[in-house]
Amino acid sequence: MIGGNESCTAGPIPMSYLTCLTYILGEWTGVEHIEDYLSYAVYLLWVLFPLAVVFLLPGVLVILFYTSILLLHIYKRKNELKEAYSNDFWDGAKQMLATLWDGHGRIWHGYELHGAENIPEGPGLIVFYHGATPADYIYFMARLLIQKKRDCHVVADHFVFRLPGFKILLDVHGVMHGPKEECVSALKKGYLIAIAPGGVREALFSDEMYTIVWGNRKGFAQVAIDAKVPIIPMFTQNVREGVRTLGGIKILRSLYEHTRLPIVPVYGGFPVKLRTFIGEPIPYEPNVTAEELTAKTKAALQALIEKHQKIPGNIFRALMERFQTQKKED
């Protein structure tokens, strides 16, 4: 075995370890002057490394999701034998995951939650702007559980339910498919529910202008009317600066519209400042129509965006805000 400071011999000529390795690769591949190609490869790696990082960082969220799933399976196995909780089997698991995600939000984004007092004690429908990833909503859900001891169920796109291994995570947190009847029933039982009417389309194809992409969707408004609950608007500052998409490429938009699969690449994962703002509730009115309530909700959400977000969004500015010591006032 040859040490790092030793030499190897190819024929009569002693060579350093690196030169020896290059020689062996050249003999094995039959490529002359392979050291020139290796030098070029190292140069390309050095040049492209920053680009690779911005596409790989969002993978941290995927790792956190599957870490959460693994912890749930461990928790389930342990408590099937132990039965540590008499009221709700998953209470401890929810607190554990809330601590994990809240810790990530605090450390990476300096996450803040403002206006939690606007959330009613009873049922309500939270309507939020959808960033490129739902990380800001997860931070909100974790902080709400830790501070207020309240669960918040969320309506997710159908493709989420087809993700491998996600079933236990979705079941534990009460993630819903979103039929109107299911939402109305949950609200009437006293649950707090969150929904992003723009869904995946808004997540992928909105941009640094923070355009609300709802189309003609008004089902959420009809749900609030049928359940006789208030709507609470919610927006997270800099959510599109943390992770961005390549949704501006027309062929990707066309591909999504035909397949309904979120195959648009994302990049970023930057430690930008994230602040979630919860607006004043829009109370239930018996005579309001779904169209009128949709317009009211959209106006309230737009007002939150205009008040708390500098447009167009800027990644560098959002990074600088992360390291400012003075907190932004509500």
Residues noted as catalytic:
130
Asked if 173 contacts 153 with a C-beta cutoff of 8 angstroms, the reply is yes
Find, among 215, 200, 197, the residue nearest to 247 by Cα. Answer: 200
DSSP H helical ranges for 194-308: 199-205, 219-227, 239-242, 250-259, 290-308
Find, among 56, 63, 45, the residue nearest to 266 by Cα. Answer: 56
Question: Residue 154, by phi and psi: left (phi above 0), alpha (psi -120 to 50) or beta?
Answer: beta
Asked if 322 contacts 272 with a C-beta cutoff of 8 angstroms, the reply is yes
Helix (H) or strand (E) holding 16: strand 13-16
Sign of the C-alpha dihedral computed for residues 107, 113, 119 and 124 taken in this order: negative
